[in-house]
Amino acid sequence: MERRRIGATALEVGAIGLGCMPMHWAYTASQQSGEGALRTVHAALDAGVSLLDTADMYGPFTNELLVGRVLRQRRSEAFVSTKCGLLVGEQHIVANGRPGYVKRACDASLRRLQTDVIDLYQLHRPDPEVPVEETWGAMAELVAAGKVRALGWCAIGARTQRRSGAGLYDATVRQLERVQQVFPVSCVQAELSVWSREALDTLVPWCASRGVGLLAAMPLGNGFLSGTLTPGQGFEPEDIRARHPRFTAEMMAANQPIVAGLRRVGRRHGATAAQVALAWVLAQGRHVVPVPGTKKAQWAVQNAAAAELRLGEEDLAEIAALPRALGSWD
């Protein structure tokens, strides 16, 4: 698989990563995953994927434990990215950016991941009660201590920080400028897909101009862009799509022309709609690495094959002309 560089560091990863979250969080109950999830991670590595993206809150903790079982056998083949800064309670998820907590969280992640070093350690969300420079400074100390190789910023929660009239990632860019003064940001993780393109306005070019990598989260639009979901099919209660405005039967039906367009492009290349969606993300810059999440080995292998798909100017123009997605994304 093609390799891409994460930031200005010498860290390189396969052009397509694996989001491990669906195996234990947001899409499925933890008891529903197990050896099947383990096979999925191994299948992804076999297909050339190296970046495994997880977080301590997924489960919580069980997702890191799963990745740790793989790393124990195949550490040299994997690039592990995990996150800190969010605590899961019975009713709420709260941010914790206190320096002491960040350091303890890192040590706990290292134990669960069964590794001596985390390749990319991301701040999952800034704590509004702690100056972000203090949190980032503590993370920088982890690099100095040899526990972490590079630092990243997760901007997936940017919508909750958005002010009326502001661009989606305006606040994120301001925060990134602040922490860059403390220690280099190697990578930013944010939503980017054919039906969620806001990152192209400011965040993707900001990263490109500063040699910062961009991990594209949800590049398949929570599975919608794969074309495997049927309007009105329903979702399990623990699945976040059961409460998502874009996954009502009405909105899924209204957005079918987007999937149809991806399929048209795919037919010219012998590729699936999902592979075209991932290839489009790859085409947004050499610093961009899509990280599709899945819990099934067959999809992990199919997603990895998208790294070989090269979209031409005609393909990209056709995708650019597709209708914008309908329905709130909040």
The residues annotated as belonging to the active site are 58
Helical H runs in the chain?
A: 35-46, 62-74, 99-113, 132-144, 158-161, 170-180, 203-209, 249-254, 256-269, 273-282, 297-305, 313-320
Q: Longest C-alpha distance within the chain, in Å?
A: 54
**Backbone phi, psi, residue 186, to 5°:** -90, -30
Q: Name the nearest CA neighbour of 269 among 321, 311, 322, 313.
A: 311
Straight-line distance from the first to the last Cα atom of the chain, in angstroms, rounded to the nearest whole number: 34
Task: Answer for the pair 50, 79: CB distance below 8 angstroms, yes or no.
Answer: yes
Question: Would you say the C-alpha torsion 101, 103, 105, 108 has a positive or negative sign?
Answer: negative
Question: Structure tokens of 159?
Answer: 């919508």
CB atoms within 10 A of CB 95: 18
Task: Answer for the pair 62, 31: CB distance below 8 angstroms, yes or no.
Answer: no
Radius of gyration of the chain (CA): 19
Cα–Cα distance list, 151 to 103, 123, 219 (Å): 13, 8, 22
The neighbouring-strand residues paired with 148 are: 118
Question: Structure tokens of 328?
Answer: 């709130």
| SS3 state of residue 19 | strand
Question: Structure tokens of 106?
Answer: 């890192």
